[in-house]
């Protein structure tokens, strides 16, 4: 079962779900779905979330089960 805490953390960093959604240009229910686990965070959104949170929430945290397949250049970084 994936951990959806990183999405909730991103919301907290940004000042709420609505602010994160606005910054990403997506509807609030989309972010809510990511936070609840009913929708996966799309790969492109992982990069954007990492950027808008200033790295406080990373792609690795958002995609713990497959990040190394998507972004192999991040291997060895911590």
pLDDT at 71 over 90: yes
**Domain that includes residue 68, residue range:** 5-74
Q: What is the average pLDDT value for the chain, to the nearest integer?
A: 92
Cα separation of 39 and 36, whole Å? 8
Task: Kindly report the CATH number assigned to the domain that includes residue 61.
Answer: 1.10.260.40
Which pTM value belongs to this model?
0.89
Average pLDDT over residues 28-46: 93
**Are 34 and 7 in contact, with CB atoms under 8 Å apart?**
yes
In whole angstroms, how far apart are CA 17 and each of 13, 22, 74? 10, 9, 27
The total of structural domains in the chain comes to: 1
pLDDT at 65 over 60: yes
**Are 54 and 27 in contact, with CB atoms under 8 Å apart?**
no
Cα separation of 5 and 11, whole Å? 10
Label residue 3 by pLDDT band (50, 70, 90).
low
């Amino acid at each position: 079962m994936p951990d959806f805490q990183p999405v909730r953390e991103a919301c907290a960093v940004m000042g709420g779900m609505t602010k994160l959604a606005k910054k990403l240009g997506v509807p609030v229910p989309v972010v809510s779905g990511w936070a609840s686990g009913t929708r996966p965070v799309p790969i492109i959104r992982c990069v954007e979330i990492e950027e808008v949170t200033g790295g406080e929430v990373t792609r690795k945290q958002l995609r713990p089960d497959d990040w190394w397949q998507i972004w192999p250049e991040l291997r060895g970084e911590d």
